[in-house]
């Protein structure tokens, strides 16, 4: 859809994977609770657009995330396709049991780099949360599931401020030691800037973390998500989280605003000649459709530019 030229930059990958988080991280922070059939259609539309990884929902207690209380029903109705991964968030072994029972192949656990957020989100210390995740990850791996270890507050914390890089590296390497197959580095409140992103990625690689096992998850609170992504790509990262229409946030961190919009990311990548396999036009249509059902404008600049009715 970008008719304005392709100008690659040196040292960037030729292809990346977009880890689409709209159905989970996008919807969990919306005031409106969408019907099951709309959630199922959203996932199927995202797959139709070319996504090969769609984080579908969260198997947590409905009390904590009522927007996703129908997770099992969504997963039962969904027509899963070969070659597409449908990871779900699992908070504990009970969540893992549900995921295995539903025949899923990918799960994610959600850790914190800071004590304050670990208390707010998990009601545990960082060490206690890792102890809780240990049997979850071990059992998931024994069952042949892929396990993403999300790590929140990698760049800043609303209670603690700056998060020291060695602190982040220590928790990240612990997640991999537990058996996580990949990491998702979260800029939960959107305060990261390009230099900090480069410094953290360099430190992780220096600690022996393969860059191919790192994904990045940027929020766009201060308009830095695309710049941060570009730096991460330059450091060899090939998995980038994004949310259709820019929806999302975190219900346990009030300063966490929307995720990087998938459409905005695709516009940048198309201009750089980086392939994703995702059709921007189809995705814009999907986000405009979703905005109408949420009865709110799409936060994505690209969606607004290409679909005035989504404004």
**C-beta separation of 220 from 3 below 8 A:** no
Cα–Cα distance, 137 to 142 (Å, whole number): 9
SS3 185: strand
| Parallel, antiparallel or unpaired: strands 17-20 and 161-162 | unpaired
* Contact residues for 41 (Cβ-Cβ < 8 A; gap 6+): none
Please state the three-class secondary structure of 102-165 as a single string.
CCCCEEEEEEECCHHHHHHHHCCCHHHHHHHHHHHHHHHHHCCCEEEEEEECCCEECCCEECCH
Whether 164 and 171 have beta carbons less than 8 Å apart is answered as no
Number of helices and strands in the chain (H, E): 11, 10
Side-chain half-sphere of 27: how many Cα atoms within 13 Å?
29
Three-class DSSP category at 53: strand
Q: Report whether 222 contacts 192 (CB < 8 A).
A: no
What Å distances lie between residue 119 and 98, 112, 116, 126, 129, CA to CA? 25, 9, 5, 8, 9
Catalytic residue, chosen from 154, 180, 250, 311, is: 250
- Told to judge if 250 belongs to the known catalytic residues of this protein, a careful annotator would answer yes
Coil/strand/helix, residue 188 = coil
How many angstroms separate the CA atoms of 297 and 163, rounded?
Answer: 33
Active-site positions read 250
């Amino acid at each position: 859809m970008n008719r304005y030229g392709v100008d690659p930059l040196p040292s960037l990958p030729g292809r990346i994977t977009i880890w689409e988080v709209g159905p989970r991280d996008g919807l969990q922070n919306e005031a409106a609770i969408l019907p099951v059939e709309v959630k199922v259609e959203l996932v199927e539309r995202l797959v139709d657009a070319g996504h090969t990884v769609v984080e579908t929902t969260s198997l947590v207690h409905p009390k904590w995330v009522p927007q996703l209380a129908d997770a099992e029903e969504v997963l039962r109705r969904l027509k899963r396709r070969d070659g597409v991964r449908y990871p779900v968030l699992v908070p504990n072994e009970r969540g893992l049991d549900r995921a295995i029972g539903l025949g899923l192949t990918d799960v994610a656990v959600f850790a914190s780099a800071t004590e304050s957020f670990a208390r707010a989100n998990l009601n545990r210390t960082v060490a206690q949360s890792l102890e809780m995740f240990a049997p979850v990850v071990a059992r998931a791996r024994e069952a042949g599931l892929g396990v993403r270890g999300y790590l929140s507050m990698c760049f800043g914390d609303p209670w603690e401020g700056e998060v020291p890089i060695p602190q982040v590296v220590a928790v990240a390497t612990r997640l991999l030691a537990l058996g996580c197959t990949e990491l998702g580095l979260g800029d939960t409140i959107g305060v990261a800037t390009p230099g900090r992103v480069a410094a953290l990625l360099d430190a992780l690689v220096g600690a022996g973390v393969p860059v191919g096992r790192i994904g990045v998850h940027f929020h766009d609170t201060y308009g830095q998500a695309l710049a941060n992504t570009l730096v991460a790509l330059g450091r060899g990262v090939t998995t980038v989280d994004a949310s259709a229409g820019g929806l999302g946030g975190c219900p346990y961190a009030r300063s966490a605003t929307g995720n990087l919009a998938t459409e905005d990311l695709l516009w940048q990548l198309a201009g750089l000649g980086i392939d994703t396999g995702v059709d921007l036009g189809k995705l814009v249509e999907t986000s405009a459709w979703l905005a109408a059902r949420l009865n709110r404008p799409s936060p994505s600049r690209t969606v607004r530019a290409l679909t005035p009715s989504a404004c």
